[in-house]
Structure 1
Amino acid sequence: MPGLRVLVCTVVHHPQDARILHRQIRAMLDAGYTVTYAAPFSAYATTAWPEVTAVDLPRALGRQRSDALRAARHVLRTHGADADVVLLHDPELLLVLPGLDLPGAVVWDVHEDTGAALVAKSWLPGAVRPLARAGVRMVEEWAERNLRLILAEPGYRGRFRRIHPVVPNTTYVPESVEPSGADRVVYVGHLSVARGVDVMLDAARLLAGSGLDIDVVGHADSYSRRALVRAQQEGFLRWHGYVPNDRALALVDGALCGLSLLRDLPNYRHSMPTKVLEYMAHGVPVVSTPLPAAVSLTQVNRCGLLVPFDDAEATVAAILRLRDDAELRASMGKRGHAVARTGYHWPQTAREFLMRLEAWAQAARPHQCITLGSL
């Protein structure tokens, strides 16, 4: 079913999100689809690719979400009627669907364990979180009855009664890579306490005088932003801010190692840290905390070192070990790249993703328009 018309919508994610834009939308455009992309472009001070039709939305942030959801409902009503597929990337968007007439396939891309992720939401009072988790479960059950679902992780299957396809966060793996160097450490990804920013900053301070440069790339929450600015002013690291995925990964090339210092939180225990795969894809050894998926990937394939959770000194020791052992560094980088190229190259995943969209669009269009029921 060539030439699908797809409406992609998010009010939470950065419009340059790697999964949404650089993998999924890129694959759709390459397949000849017509893509309308509704996202918070102005809020993130970014613009859309010329190949897509852009619709600017407010950003849903903290407790301030009502304006973004109202705007998203309007976009879904006005643009969704002509779409063969409506692809939603935020659980919040499920709340605006009841009562809308959407004749195409409506697909929710499940990026995370939403209920577990509430633990890390500082804007949500602790006393409210159990009630919020119950609400999330109710919405997920409604979504499973009414929508098509794709999951970013196999570990999310246990939250649902039916079997849903997994479209994992694989990455683009170049055929050849620059050898891992000895003088630069990198981090690519969102920056928050839950993702280990405090440990990374402590490690950067401990490495002062070592001759190592530390490049940090990614969007930061307000706390992390202040801490990173201070650390950069003090000369401990270079924070590049948010950089589009393709340019961010170019900064990984030739690095000594890549950091993945996620904390031991429920939302991360069933997830593969995408940054681990990205470091492997670029031939860079990984220094990671021992989350199950990271342990499996780095230890089975011998492409990285594990450090305890919340341990800056152990992180520094791992970095210095790789700096001082060129043979270990080179062998880990080569093995990681080979494994990523064989099993985690996005174009292989993209084919299955597009086949799913086309099958669902074909199944939806022969039927009369269905009005999505109430929650």
Structure 2
Amino acid sequence: MIRILHVSTAHPASDPRIAYRVLPTLAPHYELIALLPNGSAGEWTGIRYVSLFWFRRVWQRVLVNYPLVLWHTLRLRPALFHIYDPELLPLARFVQLLLQIPVIYEVHENLYKKLDAKASNQTRLATWAFCRADRMAQRHFYLIFTEHGYTDTYRHLNRPSVVIHNYPTLPFFEPFRTNYATDPQAPVFFYIGWISLERAFDTLLLALASLKANYPNFRVHLFGDCAIPNHVLTRLPGFAKVCDNLIFYGYTNQQTAFRYAAGATAGLALLNPVGDYPESYTTKLFEYMALGLPVVTSDFPLYREVVERHGCGFCVSPNDPVAIADALLYFIQNEQVARDMGQRGRQAVETMYNWETESKQFLSFYRQVLP
């Protein structure tokens, strides 16, 4: 079988797209080796994993992992080098020239619209280096985009590209689906993803503080790393009032997180209109729909096309705590309507927004790169 090397220095081995979508799709057709941080070395379901180190800062990841990735690449001699991070672009070009093999680069976010927000890694030199490396990738690599909106930025490509959305894998969600049944006296809400001000967590706190006046025993399960420093988080308006209602789990794998979606009243997916968010689907929107949960999400036109078209929740301003609280209150007080919304969302995922349809395009693109 043709040997493919998948490499990420920023995405962990449990990254949902890599672990549950991309690699299982390719495994029956290719010999796959995945170099990923925080993984367990070994072979599972036909995929060989090699663990890399993970660091928060880019320069640390480059300094430590570049030599490891290069050594493994030269040792394994793959027919294709598939990367997921912009920091790997220079190394990928070196590998391409050295081994004379094609490179696939997956673009998971439009960094041109996020450079100001990447404060922890941003310097003028880093910005210059990214732009230069990215232009090089547009000339020499095959690109996979996770959103159609990114193609407005990436207009001048020398090689074929494709858009493969990050839609849910339906069989993966089956064990976590339950009949929609909530406790109106102690409603539960579910969130998975980064917890940050960019994702309207401050506005959500105000909405929850308002909700508590009528439903003091509500709970919110929060899965994901918190990007808000603790001394800032505890001083946010509304936090002191609802902190006992919030359960922070930190980052976990999805198998752990989605067990807590059972019995939830709704899934939360709020983002502020910053960076590339308005032109990018938030993956959690479709994951909640796959679980049969009604959703509360931002009122971006892109999101409205999904939520309002299928009647599976509410799109509200991420800066309006009253609108958010009203949406949550409506779900609590109208259980049958909320259940119907969740069912319509699930049906939409079954027919349109699922990885099964995307995987066919993925394999077709691979055959184009490796005829």
Give the TM-score category using the shorter length. Answer: 0.7 to 0.9
Match 1:309 to one of 306, 313, 318: 318
Code of the aligned partner of 1:145: R
Supply the AA of the counterpart residue of 1:178.
Answer: N
Output the TM-score relative to the length of structure 1: 0.84
Which secondary structure does the structure 1 equivalent of 2:82 belong to?
Answer: strand
In 2, Cα distance between equivalents of 1:232 and 1:4: 57
Q: Tell me which residue corresponds to 1:149.
A: 143
Deviation at 1:342, TM superposition (A): 0.5
Shift of the alpha carbon at 1:180? Answer: 5.3
Q: CA deviation at 1:235?
A: 1.1
User: What is the identity, as a one-letter code, of the residue corresponding to 1:201?
Assistant: L
Match of 2:20 in 1: 22
One-letter amino acid of the structure 2 residue matched with residue 208 of structure 1: K
- State the 1:112 CA deviation: 0.5
What does 1:1-375 correspond to in 2, within 5 Å? 3-29=1-27, 31=28, 33-41=30-38, 47=40, 50-51=43-44, 52-62=47-57, 65-81=58-74, 82-100=77-95, 101-123=98-120, 135-160=129-154, 161-162=156-157, 164-173=161-170, 177-179=178-180, 181=182, 182=184, 183-208=187-212, 210=215, 211-221=217-227, 223=229, 227=233, 234-362=243-371
Deviations for 1:205-236, whole angstroms, at most 9, x for unmatched residues? 33336132211111222526973898799412
Q: Are the structure 2 counterparts of residues 272 and 309 from structure 1 closer, same or farther at C-alpha, using a change threshold of 3 Å?
A: same
Q: Which has the higher contact order (CA 8 A, sep 6+)?
A: 1
CA spacing shift, 1:268–1:257, aligned 2, 3 Å: same
Letter aligned with residue 59 of structure 2: S
Contact 1:115–1:136, Cα closer than 8 Å, also in 2: no
Q: 1:49 to 1:80 in 2, by over 3 A?
A: closer
Distance 1:225 1:164 in 2: 44
Give the C-alpha shift of residue 141 in structure 1.
Answer: 2.0
SS at match of 2:257: helix
Q: Is the 8 A contact 1:191 1:224 kept in 2?
A: no
State the identity %.
25
- TM (norm. structure 2) is 0.84
Deviates more, 1:306-315 or 1:173-182: 173-182
What RMSD in Å do the two structures reach over aligned CA positions?
2.8
* Residue aligned with 2:162, SS: coil
SS of 2:302's partner is helix
**Cα offset, 1:132, TM superposition:** 5.7
- How many matched pairs? 350
Contact 2:42 2:50 in 1 (8 A): no
SS in 2 for 1:36: strand
